[in-house]
Structure formats: C-alpha cells, structure tokens
Amino acid sequence: MRALIPMRALVDGALQTGIAVLVDGARIVDLVPADALPPDAVPESLPGTLVPGFIDTQVNGGGGVLFNDAPTVAGIAAIGAAHRRFGTTGFLPTLISDDLDVIRRAVAAVDAAIEAGVPGVLGIHIEGPFLNVDRKGIHSAEKIRPLDEDGMAALTGLKRGRTLITLAPERVSPEQIESLVAAGAVVSAGHTNASYIQAKAAVAAGMRGVTHLFNAMSPLGSREPGMVGASLDSPELTCGLIVDGHHVSPATLRLALRCKPSSGFMLVTDAMPSVGSVASEFLLQGRRITVKDGACRSDDGTLAGSHLDMAAAVRNAMSMLGLDIATAVELASASPAALIGLARTRGRIAAGLLADLVLLDDAGKVIATWIGGS
C-alpha cells in the first residue's frame, strides 16, 4: 500500500496539510495523518498540491489526432495520452456532427477502448448532428439532420461507459429526450436557438447539461431569456464553460457564476488536435484550422474548438474568474463527474473512490498524474 504525502491536499473543499492519501491498487482506501501511517504503508513525499483528477467531457482531439478522423481505439488512446499530461484523468472523446455510420464507428471504438482498458476513457460525447443549422458554429451544415429512429439507435449504441449527447432541444421532441434519458444517455443543449419555454420543456423531459454556455445558442434578452436564460435559471442544468479568454468574456462568465451555485457549472476544453502537439494547423472536415494566439479558427475567423487543456482551464478560472483553487478544481472534477453519473467513483479525494489524482506545482502546472493509482 502506498502513502502519498503531498505538501497540501484538496480534501472536502479545502487545502489541508499533514495528510497521507493511502492508495491500494486502483483505489483510495483511506486518508490518515501523515505522522500516523499504518505499518504496511510505503510513504511517498510529493512536492506540491494534490487535487482530484480532471474530467473533461468535451475533447475533440489531442496529440495531433481528431476523433472524427480517427474513431479507433488507437485514436482514443493517443488523445487520452496527450491530455493526461495536463491532468485529465477522465475524458469523453467528442464527435462533432457527422454521418450516422461515423457515429456508429465512434461508439464501437469507445466500447472497444473501455474494454481494452485505455486509461481515462469514460464514454463518448456525441455533439450533433441533431442541431440547429442557424447556430452551427464550425459544424458542417451538410451534416446536420433531423433526429429519426436510425439516429436514436446510433446515439444509444454504447454498451460500456457514459454517453453524453448534445442536441438542439427545439429540433427534437420532449418524447425523444425522454427516450434518450431512459436509455441511459445524458442530454445536453447546444448549437441551439431554443426559446426559454422550449428549453424548460427539455429540462422537464430530462435534459441535464448545457454545452459551452453562451456559445452557439440563443442569448439572454430582455423579453426572451433564450437558452442562456434558461441555463442560468435552471438548477437542474450543469453548464459547460470554456475559459480560454476567446470563447466568452471573463466578465460574462463571472456574471453567470453569480446566478447559481458553482456545482451548476463545469470546465470543458473543447480541445482540438493541437493540444499536446506542436502543429499550428489541422484540417476539420476539409477546412483548414489555424492555431494563433491560443485560439483555433477557420479561415473565415470562426472559432473551431479550442487550444485549451484542463490544467490551463483551472488556472484561467482562478486568474480570469477570481475563483479559489477549491472551486476551480470542483468545476474540473466533481461537477463533470456528477453530470455523467460518476460522482460515487470519481471527482474527489476520498476513501473508496478511484485514485485519479493530479499533483500541481505552485503555478498550477502539472507535476504528475495518476489514473487508477498508476
């Protein structure tokens, strides 16, 4: 049994000193005073702050690999390895709007990756193609389509792990949302022009997430609160935030965080293949995307995902949004774990949970990452 003894550990929402985290195999078995270790514990002193591993529910790519182009076990493993360097211990490889056969291949690849024990893969995020073309962002208009029986079957084909589905609630029926939820999927609103009433009807049907709040959705207005208003007015919804200084003004995000408890928000990267890669450009469904000044844009200036990693997102949440480390890490760990139904196994440093851990230096950079204790 290992005894991890960091300078500080983030436990129960506070930084604590003098604590040893006992790890046996893949799990945390106990937290004890560092000066009262059990006889069979092997101490390991760690120079930094130990926090729960980060969970990223929106990862389009990394390490030079785009999931849409490589819906394979090898592609998923390469993406996970790239993001692990930045503290991501759990992730959902994310497929943007594509044909149904690509969705089926991606789902099969995630099933196979989980079965093979690829570190960190928790399921899949299928972002589209059941979106509103008026809010398509970088998604291809040719791929966007109505949700029918074939689409429902493709979305619910995963046998292992969690399925997160981004759709436009006004483009589907409440009954379809209910069916997806009944099949075990987590439904999130994104790329949507939904009215407040339409969004609230989707919440009543079981929708629980909001994909990249403020981006590609109907804004908050004086008489029509839109998708943004419904997101901030619905305690049931967990809103994903891209905190990179490009997608949303930090002032706007600070205002949003005042609307409901921090547990109603989570950090996401929306990362593209450039994360963990030296490449400054890549292709996205035939379009050239260039990385410049920390942002990914197409030739016409449209944002195309991000060049953000989770450790940077946590640092930005502190520096741009004024959050303390406990809240910033909560948004990167406990909140996404809760949204996808994994709060009992991940997202905190506590006895019985998986030893998914990150060691940070004083600047918030990653020193080491453990997934399942290794």
Token pair, residue 271, equals 């990362």
304 annotated to a ligand binding site: yes
The answer to whether 193 and 169 have CB atoms below 8 angstroms apart is: no
Q: Which residues are catalytic?
A: 270
With contact defined as beta carbons under 8 Å apart, do 94 and 123 qualify?
Answer: no
Q: Is 127 annotated as a binding residue?
A: yes
Task: Give the SS3 label for residue 308.
Answer: coil
132 is in an annotated binding site: no
Residue 191 annotated as binding site: yes
Contacts by 177-182, CB closer than 8 A, 24 or more apart: 177/202, 177/205, 177/206, 177/207, 178/205, 178/206, 179/152, 180/152, 180/155, 180/156, 180/206, 181/205, 181/206, 181/207
68 is known to lie in a ligand binding site: no
Assess contact for 95 and 67: CB atoms under 8 A: yes
Q: Which long-range contacts (CB under 8 A, 24 or more apart) does 301-304 make?
A: 302/137, 302/138, 303/137, 303/138, 303/215, 303/246, 303/247, 304/138, 304/272
Distance CA 354, CA 356 (A): 6
- Rounded to an integer, what is the distance from CA 310 to the centroid of its chain? 9
246 is in an annotated binding site: no
Q: How far apart are the first and last CA of the chain?
A: 13
Contact, 230 vs 210, CB < 8 A? no
Contact indicator for 281, 289 with CB cutoff of 8 Å:
yes
Question: Is 125 annotated among the ligand-binding residues?
Answer: no
Which one, of 192, 154, 187, 155, lies nearest residue 170 by Cα?
A: 192
Q: Which two tokens stand for residue 349?
A: 């440093």
Give buried/exposed letters for 163-202 (b at 16+ CB in 10 A, else e). bbbbbbbbbbebebbbbbbeeebbbbbbbbbbbbebbbbb
> Binding site membership for Zn(2+): which residues?
127, 191, 212
Can you say which residues are annotated as belonging to the binding site for substrate?
138, 215-216, 223, 247, 303-305
Binding residues, by number, are 127, 138, 191, 212, 215-216, 223, 247, 303-305
